Structure 1
Amino acid sequence: MPLHTTAQASADHAHLLTLAHERSRRYGLALRDAPHYQRLGQGALRDALDQHRFLSRHATPVMEHLYAQIANTGSMLVLTSASGLVLHSLGDSDFLPKADQVALIPGMDWSEQAQGTNAIGTALQERQAITVQGAQHFMHANHSLACSCAPIFGPHGELMGALDVTSEHHRHHPHTLALVRMSVQMLENQMLTAQFPQAIRIHFHARPEFLGTLVEGIAIFAPDGPLLSLNRSAQFQLGLPTLPQPAPDFAALFNQPLATAWNAQTQHLMLHSGVRVGCRIHLPQRPSAPTAAAKPSATQRLSHLQYLDTGDVQLAHAIARLRKVLDKDIPVMLLGETGTGKDLLAHAWHQDSARADQPFIAVNCASIPESLIEAELFGYADGAFTGARKKGAIGKIAQAHGGTLFLDEIGDMPLPLQARLLRVLQERCITPLGSEKDIPIDIAVVCATHQDLKARIAQGLFREDLYYRLNGLVVRLPALRERSDLLAVIAKVLQVVQPEGAACQLAPDVLEKLARYPWPGNVRQLHNVLRTASVLAAEEGIVTCADLPDDFLEDYAQILADEAPAAPENKAENLGDFTLQRMAQALQAHQGNVSAAAKALGISRNTFYRKKALLPPGAV
């Protein structure tokens, strides 16, 4: 990023904070005032939650998705109303005492009038995303916090609330605000489409491969043509920061009648500015206008599973099988290496199901301490154990009632807990810790693991009866290095992770490195590499090698070293001296752990990954 651009961004941020501090003083607040932590009464809170149920319903799965990305970072997610009232919070157990201390709980007011300069109140006041760290907060009581917040705008352009991630100041991550902004963009798009179920949606972008990503434009039209609403990307592409009144119709924006595009199942449109865009048209199931004579076809219905289908035959086969069991009460098990996107596929399957408007609750069975996972899953009653919250807590399974429960890394679930889960799946009810009351539940279940569950059963680490209860449809996700659509995945991930308003491209040498890299961390690693690089390159608009993370470049240099012809004295280090049989033996000896096998053979992990494809099926 150029120095002057960095300086300008810093100056703009400082100016916003100066304005916020001035407002805080005008509100009559003082630096060392005791914080205003008076909570809204239960009745008033219930009324507020009812008033904002549309926002909360659509925000819940987005928050769960964001939480899965920042879990175990000591952070708290907070959803607020437009006035700064906390409606919902979700956070790591190690931050919960801190959250209680600073009142990041439903019913608390985090407006500037109540708390002075803070990310929630200031983002709502300025109507733009902002991070407020440490002493940038007005009140000393909040100096231990780092908060990143983005305002949420509704389908009609109205300010609806804000989404915030708060952590302790010393644990703040510089990319948190970008994640929050992406999550808000996802939420706004979902609310937009939900608000107009019988309208016509036009999804468009100048680069057709970006359809189905967060950067696609979405324009909503009435069946007879008038424009009803736009998402932020559509506003930018059409040059309409606000919806004009009277609203233009389809022909004024796309230079042809709506009926013509509809009936012809158009795949390209021309904007009024002369820019040609790729498009997809989503039609209401029961069109009422005389100009809409054609019935929508199945191929015109955009699904979240479709967004993930970027051309790889193996993945397309898995997605096709998943579609066939939608809403059939068949448990789904996703297999694949860590980072292959099992969580994304599970969420997409939920979004395409009849439960899409209900919660999607994800639980990583490997990341929760064994001492806490039972309470996390099943909840607990008041006084169930020392340190338990008053009035108890609702477990993840109960939170998923009516929706989908995603049990990630199910192979790592403690054995004693597996019996309780089996009972839940058989009887469709749960009993919280310390309670004798059974609570009926209605959930769809998706599990995921990178483990060989049959081997775990043989080792006595996984219950065979639970395995067959979960073993409905089993699909395996290919590793990223095995996929034929790597370039398409790179393009889609880049558009999802780059900062809002940015349009980064990859320099040719960067694309070459990304294409040759074996991606041991799969899509998750690609996501992190591109997210870092796009943030660093946001102002220039092109990602160069200087923007790539150092560890990635070091790994890539090792790849080149491994591929270079070995000097005679170094022949023993060349993979040519190792037979495929020895590779297979090493993998078997280390239970499929590539890193350990490569180390035992004295070669790099990346070289092992590239050569592993030569092993015959069943060698490991």
Structure 2
Amino acid sequence: MDTYAVPDQQRLYRARQQFLDGKPLPEDLLPASIARSWARSRDAGLLPWQPRLSQLDDQLHMLMPEDHLLARHASPEIERLWQVLGGKAWTIFCVNTEGVIVRIAKDQNNLPPLQYLQVGRRVHEPEIGTTAPSCTLMEGKPIVLLGNQHYLNEFERFFCVSVPLWGTQGELIGALDITGIGNRPVHSVLDQLNYAAMAVENRLYDDLPKTNILHLQHDPRLFDTPFEGLIALDSQGCIQAANRTARRLLGLDNQPLKGLRLDERFDTNLKTIIDNPTPELIRLADGSQLYIRNQSQRSAASLKLSTASASSGAVKTPDRLAPPSGPTQASFVSLNRPARLSKPTFLFCSRVKRGLERRSLPAAFMTPAALMPLL
């Protein structure tokens, strides 16, 4: 049976009325996470027939510095999602752990009550009842709410899907949500939101202090995509941060990272693990293998290759084509994801790359990320 099949709306409506009278909900009516939210909404004194979102006052919450940071990392994905899922009857937004909207994409002529959703508005269960983002923040998992699965009649036409956002320490930092009036293919929307959430989480590593950033995957084709594992190491080889993919690959799902050395998970020494500017298979302690690439060393290797080629006389390149060094090195490393380039920049880099290929420049120097500093 499809977990996200459209429920019987009339049955939901009748059950909610009986629920208010103190009768238990039928066991097969709602997923357990949504049933718990109904109970919390009822206990908060909310009445399903009372409009709440449209009656909220104009007071908005001020965003904190960490909210602006979350908004900055979420913005590219929200904009991309809006291109394929947006419309007059839809909104796509990101909330922090308090349910405050930090970034939103919506039509200026949104239908009511969608127009009341804006940056600074708090999507708070005690105030507006059961919603996908409030359930996601409470349960820490993706939530789908269709029609009368919402607690308030005000949202009986709403389609809502929300997924959690996880920080570099495995902590919940917010949720990504699409809310609209109408229907969409649930599984497709869930896939797109999950993909976007992983991309947001990976962008968090751009702001980490100077560390070795290791990329991990069973399949090297997934490098430089949201599906890659990312680990930040300090100078002693201790894990400082790991995204959800890396945690799964290394069996660290529920394990605290403090004091954990990376080489404890592998059947080799630390130098062998991190000394890979290009993807190399490294054996884990359990006998399986992972492809690993060191992002920091990748950019360093590009610098060494271009310098060696120029000094040998094999290829003469203008000085301005050399990868940056010193203070600009950090920005060079952080641009190591071609998918984040704008279209004009990508086209420019592609043209330069083709010209350099004809001059036999080393391949490590010819990625769009390596060409970005030339602009």
Corresponding position of 1:89: 104
Aligned residue number for residue 41 of structure 1: 59
1:92 CA drift (Å):
3.2
**Aligned equivalent of 1:279:** 292
2:240 touches 2:257 (CA, 8 Å); kept in 1? no
CA distance in 2 between counterparts of 1:145 and 1:231 reads: 32
Classify the secondary structure of the residue corresponding to 2:154.
helix
State the Cα distance separating 1:123 from its structure 2 match: 0.9
Counterpart CA distance in 1 for 2:371 and 2:149 is 43
C-alpha separation between the residues in 1 aligned to 2:36 and 2:92? 26
Q: What does residue 336 of structure 2 align with?
A: 303
Amino acid at match of 1:248: L
**Which residue matches 1:60?**
75
1:110 Cα deviation after fit: 1.0
Q: What are the equivalent positions in structure 2 for 1:380-419 lying under 5 Å apart?
A: none
Give the CA deviation at 1:98: 4.5
The structure that has the greater radius of gyration is 1
Structure 1 window deviating more from structure 2 (90-99 vs 176-185): it is: 90-99
- Listed one character per residue, the Cα deviations across residues 465-488 of structure 1 (whole Å, up to 9, x for unaligned) are xxxxxxxxxxxxxxxxxxxxxxxx
Summarize the Cα distance change of 1:320–1:184 in structure 2 as closer, same or farther, 3 Å threshold.
same
TM-superposed CA distance for 1:227, in Å, is: 0.6
Equivalent position to 1:247, from 250, 259, 263 = 259
Q: Does 1:188 align with 2:221?
A: no
CA contact (8 A) 2:263 2:270 kept: yes
Partner of 1:122: 135
Letter in 1 for 2:114: A
1:88 is paired with a residue of what secondary structure? strand
Q: Say whether 1:321 aligns with 2:351.
A: yes
When residues 350 and 107 of structure 1 are mapped into structure 2, their CA distance, relative to the original with a 3 A threshold, is: farther
Change (3 A) 1:194 1:118: same
1:162 paired to 2:192: no
> What is the letter of the counterpart of residue 351 of structure 2?
R
SS at match of 2:105: strand
Q: Is the 8 A contact 1:147 1:166 kept in 2?
A: yes
Residues 13 and 177 of structure 1, relative CA distance in 2, 3 Å threshold? farther
The Cα offsets for residues 391-450 of structure 1, whole Å up to 9 and x where unpaired, read as: xxxxxxxxxxxxxxxxxxxxxxxxxxxxxxxxxxxxxxxxxxxxxxxxxxxxx9xxxxxx
Whole-angstrom CA distance in 2 between matches of 1:12 and 1:273:
44
The one-letter amino acid paired with 1:95 is N
CA separation in 1, counterparts of 2:255 and 2:211? 17
Show the counterpart of 2:155: 142
Corresponding position: 1:22 with 2:39: yes
How big is the shift at 1:323? 6.4
Offset, 1:260: 3.1
1:519-574 Cα distance to aligned partner (Å, 9 max, x none):
xxxxxxxxxxxxxxxxxxxxxxxxxxxxxxxxxxxxxxxxxxxxxxxxxxxxxxxx
1:321 partner amino acid: R
1:269 has 2:282 as partner: yes
2:15 match? none
Given that 1:304 and 1:352 are in contact with CA atoms closer than 8 Å, whether structure 2 keeps it comes out as no
The structural deviation recorded for 1:55 is 0.5
Offset, 1:13:
6.2
Q: Which amino acid aligns with 1:85?
A: V
For residue 38 of structure 1, what is the amino acid of its counterpart?
L
> Judging changes above 3 Å, is the alpha-carbon distance between structure 1 residues 200 and 149 closer, same or farther for their aligned structure 2 residues?
same
Aligned pair in 2 of structure 1 residues 12, 318: CA closer, same or farther (>3 Å)?
farther
Q: Percent identity, aligned pairs only?
A: 22
> SS of 2:249's equivalent?
helix
- Alpha carbons 1:235, 1:241 under 8 Å: kept: yes
Give the C-alpha shift of residue 93 in structure 1: 4.5
Aligned to 1:79: 94
C-alpha displacement of 1:69: 2.0
- Aligned letter for 2:185? H
- Equivalent residue, structure 2, for 1:211: 223
Deviation at 1:51, TM superposition (A): 4.2
Shift in Å at residue 146 of structure 1?
0.9
Instruction: Label 1:281 to 1:115 Cα distance change in 2 as closer, same or farther (>3 A).
Output: same
Q: Evaluate the alpha carbon distance shift between residue 51 and residue 306 of structure 1 in structure 2; reply closer, same or farther with a 3 A threshold.
A: closer
Structure 2: which amino acid aligns with 1:127? Answer: G
Classify 1:186/1:59 alpha carbon distance in 2 versus 1 (closer, same or farther; 3 Å): same
Residues 75 and 95 in structure 1, CA contact (< 8 A), matched pair in contact too = yes
Distance in 2 between the 1:220 and 1:227 partners?
A: 6
After superposition, give the CA deviation of every residue in 1:125-173 in whole Å (9 maximum; x if it has no partner): 11111111110000111112111111212112222111111110x3333
Take 2:298 and 2:29, find their aligned partners in 1: how far apart are those partners?
47
Match of 1:106 among 119, 139, 147: 119
**CA–CA separation in structure 2 for the residues paired with 1:270 and 1:73:** 51
- The one-letter code of the counterpart of 2:218 is A
Q: Secondary structure at the match of 1:48?
A: coil
CA distance in 2, matches of 1:39, 1:274: 59
CA shift in 2, pair 1:250/1:13, >3 Å? farther
Cα displacement (A) at 1:321: 2.5
Q: Which amino acid aligns with 1:254?
A: F
Is the aligned partner of 1:230 residue 2:237?
Answer: no
In the superposition, relative to structure 1, how do residues 262 and 111 fare at CA in structure 2: closer, same or farther (>3 Å)?
Answer: same
Aligned partner of residue 63 in structure 2, secondary structure: helix
Q: Give a deviation string over 1:196-235, Cα, whole Å, max 9, x none.
A: 2411111111122222222221111112200111111111
Q: Which residue is 2:327 aligned to?
A: none
- Residues 250, 257 of structure 1: 8 Å contact kept: no
Residue 114 (structure 1) shift: 1.6
Q: What code does the residue aligned with 1:26 have? A: D
How far residue 263 of structure 1 moved from its aligned partner, in angstroms, is: 3.9
Change in CA separation of 1:281 and 1:128 when aligned onto 2, cut-off 3 Å: same
How many residues align structurally? 307
Q: Does 1:131 align with 2:144?
A: yes
**Which segments of 5 or more consecutive residues in structure 2 lack a partner in the other structure?**
8-27, 306-331, 356-366
CA contact (8 A) 1:119 1:132 kept: yes
- Give the partner amino acid of 2:265: L
Matched-pair contact (CA < 8 Å) for 2:92–2:104: yes
TM-score scaled by length of structure 2: 0.71
